[in-house]
Amino acid sequence: MNTKEAQIEIERLSNELNHHNHLYYVESNPAISDYDFDMLLNKLIELEKKFPELVSETSPTKRVGGDITKKFTSIKHRFPMLSLGNTYSREEIIEWETRIKKSIETEIEYVCELKYDGVAIGISYENGKLVKAVTRGDGNSGEDVTANVKTIKTIPLQLKGDFPTDFEIRGEIFYPINSFHKMNEERRENDEPEYANPRNLASGTLKQQDSKIVASRGLDCFLYGIYGVDLPLNNHYESVLKAKEWGFKIPVVTEKYILKTKSIDGIMEFIEYWDKQRESLPFEIDGVVLKVNNYDAQQELGFTAKSPRWAIAYKFKTERVETLLESVVFQVGRTGSITPVANLKAVQLGGTVVRRASLHNADQIEKNDLYLGDSVYVEKGGEIIPKIVGVNLEKRAAHAHKVDFIKHCPECQTELVRREGESNHFCPNEKACPPQVTGRMEHFIARKGMNIDGLGVETIDQLFQAGLVKNVADLYTLTFDQVVNLDRMADKSANNLLQSIEASKQIPYERVLFALGIRFVGETVAKKLAAKFENIDLLAQASFDELVAVDEIGERIAISVQSYFSDELHQQLIEKLKKAGVQLQGVKKEFLSNKFEGMNFVVSGVFSTFSRDELKKVIEDNGGKNVSSISAKTTYVVAGENMGPAKLEKATKLGVKILSEQEFVNFFK
């Protein structure tokens, strides 16, 4: 295939992928299977590898991320992103509507919208291509998060239809509630602090320096505000509907996410409806936004120093209830982390019955100054997680007992420790503390790990109590006679369990690594480590520098991995798993070519056409090796903008050849 043929095929694949991406994420009406979509995308990726000079900034391959941003540049807004005036009073809404009627003589239309609890964003398009995405910031200037926003699949990179040549669209980036729960579930599995609410997670994700992490988290977005000169329509509502034709995901009219009305009664009905129905939404809202529809009327009403007069936000009150703190229990996680939990007198909150609230750690208990029997105020953090936010001191009993954090493990009585720089206390008795032993087994057998059917929590407890298993490796020594004698275990179920244990020996290395339950090693980190260290022995012997050189592996993870493999108990466990036949080695990588065989590359700096991850992948796919530091063994340095002066000086001193981005592309071709 020559360059011209490749260009035609790349354009065809890009158009087809953009079409299917829009159908799936915006229209919720997929026309092909996920597998077929992935096959098309892989075909495009391979073509772009062979013809890197043909890669477009709006290519569907940009959705997977990989750009590294060391600093988010501050950019002045072309149109200031002013905040809205807030009210919690329906009387003030009536006053606002009355003032508008006095100022505007013609009939007024209003648009009612949901107030999405996320991160405000302004996205600029030129000739139908996404060129810039900027956060609200202080309203006058925001941060450039373009690379991260490009990974959000509901935001088009290339528009369709009769769009303006130069305009900005604004909206809200948010984190879907189901995805939020999934993320916190993964963090619980790794004994990491949970995120308080979807908004904080959305904001933190959008500020990630590695856009590949952003791509993996599944942010979503509604866009609903058009700004520019000589816009094709004269009112807000029709502009929003028009934006849908251009390819944007807008608030759904049929679901009543947006409504046009001419009366205060219509406004009040919208507020009342969503005050009751907001619990059913798949995303968080904290109120509704009301706007005058006509652009000329907006211009006539003008602005105050801080906000537009033609719009106002009605915020729902955070529901707070008062109930009794009956007791505090301390739970032990599989890594030994101790979590205090408040048992409350049952109370209705946000449409559900709340009986428990996490107290997180000793510092949180001290901060709230809790006593048993206190009358406490409870809210749902971000409408999701119940939390104690205060105490009614007037109701505290004279002889109430202060809640103190325990000093010994509630399960095995081992003295607790608190590691430097961490907020949680831990039980160090990893070998014999029952919840830790059984918790690691539960993690090991889970669907994302070894996927062993027939082993539930009760069965694991029975095996442990009977002394049949003391660690996960012991599962592979179980016999039929041992298993069949367990409660509720017949011949057939015993055979099925043993067959499932045997089948787990074929689970790939990266999932075994995740199943081991190394602290801070989730699914993504396990894949990264397995790709870099092709067997468990290489990983166990890896130095700190070798670990942190791996993408997404920071100091905390590196220390945790080294600590795990330095423990004699874990070394014995790995040897038992090896003897059992568990996969502790990856499949040997197939290379596209051996062009870079025997060559060591250092990729440093910021690149204009490719991300560092993309360059590194080309090197590895063609037999080369990426290294983190320059030495006499380094073959080439691929240097982008802002490459560190120390690296440049060292490469020059050692006589290492330095390639620019274009020189690397030419060299590869």
Express each pLDDT in 426-455 by its tens digit: 999 988 999 999 999 999 999 889 999 888
Answer whether residue 59 is part of any domain: yes
Asked if 630 contacts 649 with a C-beta cutoff of 8 angstroms, the reply is no
**Which amino acid, 132?**
K
Is the pLDDT assigned to residue 395 strictly greater than 50? yes
The answer as to whether 232 is a domain residue is yes
pLDDT at site 637? 92
**122 and 185 part of one domain:** yes
What per-residue confidence (pLDDT) applies to 351? 64
We report the CATH number of the domain holding residue 483 as 1.10.150.20
Indicate whether 116 belongs to any domain.
Answer: yes
Is 65 a residue whose pLDDT tops 70?
no
One-letter amino acid of 136: R
How many angstroms separate the CA atoms of 331 and 435, rounded? 9
Asked whether the predicted pLDDT for residue 423 surpasses 70, the reply is yes
Of 83 and 478, the one with more pLDDT? 478
Percent of the chain with pLDDT over 70: 96
Q: What is the CATH number of the domain that holds 357?
A: 2.40.50.140
| pLDDT at position 350 | 66
What pLDDT does residue 86 have?
85
Please compute the mean of the pLDDT values over residues 579-598 and round it to a whole number: 85
Q: 658 versus 421: which is more confidently predicted?
A: 658
Residues 494, 620, single domain; the answer is no
Residue 520, C-beta contacts closer than 8 angstroms, at least 6 positions apart? 190, 192, 556, 557, 560
**Helix-helix angle 264-277:90-103, to 10 degrees:** 150
Distance (Å, whole) CA 172 – CA 167? 17
Chain mean pLDDT for the chain: 88
Whether residue 336 contacts residue 436, with contact meaning beta carbons closer than 8 Å, is answered with: yes
Average pLDDT over residues 546-574: 90
**What pLDDT does 148 receive?**
93
Q: What is the DSSP string of 146-203?
A: HHHHTT-TTS-SB--SS--SEEEEEEEEE--HHHHHHHHHHHHHTTPPPPS-HHHHHH
Q: 588 lies in a domain?
A: no
List, for residues 11-23, the tens digit of each pLDDT value: 899 888 888 888 7
226-240, 423-437, 498-512, 602-616: range with lowest mean pLDDT = 602-616
- Over residues 485-511, the pLDDT tens digits come to 888 888 999 999 999 999 999 999 999
**Within this chain, do residues 497 and 527 fall inside the same structural domain, yes or no?**
no
Q: In terms of Cα–Cα distance, which of 164, 195, 163 is closest to 180?
A: 195
* 88 and 198 belong to one structural domain: yes
Does residue 520 sit in the same domain as residue 609? no
**Cα–Cα distance between 9 and 663 in angstroms, integer?**
25
Same domain for 361 and 245: no
Flag whether pLDDT at 381 surpasses 60: no
pLDDT digits (tens, 9 = 90+) for 301-343: 998 767 899 999 998 877 789 999 999 999 998 889 999 999 9
Domain end call among 451, 471, 506: 506
Give domain status of residue 593, yes or no. Answer: no
Asked if 267 and 97 count as a contact pair (C-beta separation under 8 A), the reply is yes
Does 245 map to a domain?
yes
Give me the pLDDT at residue 66, please. Answer: 59
Q: What is the pLDDT of residue 28?
A: 64
What domain count does the chain have?
Answer: 6
For residues 287 and 388, membership in a common domain is answered with no
CATH at 609 = 3.40.50.10190
Query: Is-contact 297 236, C-beta < 8 A?
Result: no
- The segment with the largest mean pLDDT, out of 56-65, 191-200, 582-591, 658-667, is 658-667
What pLDDT was estimated at residue 67? 63
The larger pLDDT score, comparing residue 614 to residue 552, is at 614
Asked if residue 561 is part of any domain, the answer here is yes
Do residue 276 and residue 194 come from a single domain? yes
Closest CA to 638 of 621, 623, 666, 622: 666
Considering the candidates 62, 115, 380, 387, report the single residue annotated as catalytic. Answer: 115
Domain boundary among 64, 86, 114: 64
If asked whether residues 299 and 349 sit together in one domain, one would say no
Residues 273, 138 within the same domain: yes
Same domain membership, residue 221 and residue 101 = yes
In the listed set 506, 523, 555, which residue is the last one of a domain according to the structure? 506
What pLDDT was estimated at residue 384? Answer: 60
Does the pLDDT at position 53 exceed 60?
yes
State yes or no: pLDDT of 636 exceeds 80: yes
Residue with the larger pLDDT of the pair 182 and 384: 182
- Alpha carbon 354 to its chain centroid, in Å, reads 27
Distance CA 291, CA 110 (A): 6
For 520, the enclosing helix (H) or strand (E) is none
CA distance 349 to 355: 10
The boundaries of the domain holding residue 16 are 3-64
User: Does residue 633 carry a catalytic annotation?
Assistant: no
The DSSP code for 32 is S
Q: Smallest Cα–Cα separation from 289: which of 266, 314, 267? A: 314
Mean pLDDT, residues 166-188 taken together: 88
The pLDDT of residue 94 is above 90: yes
What's the mean pLDDT in 62-86? 80
- Local confidence band at 383 (pLDDT 50, 70, 90 cut-offs): very low
Q: How confident is the model at residue 57 (pLDDT cuts 50, 70, 90)?
A: confident
One DSSP character per residue, 316-345 reads PPPPEEEEEEEEEEEEE-TT-BEEEEEEEE
CA distance 407 to 414: 9
Residues 209 and 302 in one domain: yes
Minimum mean pLDDT range among 258-262, 382-386, 423-427, 640-644: 382-386
List the single range of 120-129, 458-467, 624-633 with lowest mean pLDDT. Answer: 624-633
User: Is 413 domain-assigned?
Assistant: no
Q: Determine the pLDDT at residue 184.
A: 82
Closest CA to 209 of 628, 555, 661, 612: 612
Band of the pLDDT at 195, cuts 50, 70, 90?
confident
Q: What is the pLDDT of residues 445-485, one digit of tens each?
A: 998 899 998 888 889 999 999 999 999 999 999 999 999 98
**b/e 408-440 (16+ beta carbons within 10 angstroms → b):** ebebbebebeeeeeeebbbbebbeebebbbbbb
Residue 254's pLDDT band, with cuts at 50, 70 and 90, is confident
Report DSSP letters for 215-247, one per residue. HHHT-EEEEEEEE-SS-S-SBHHHHHHHHHHHT
pLDDT at 592 over 90: no
Other C-beta atoms closer than 10 Å to the C-beta of 331 total: 13
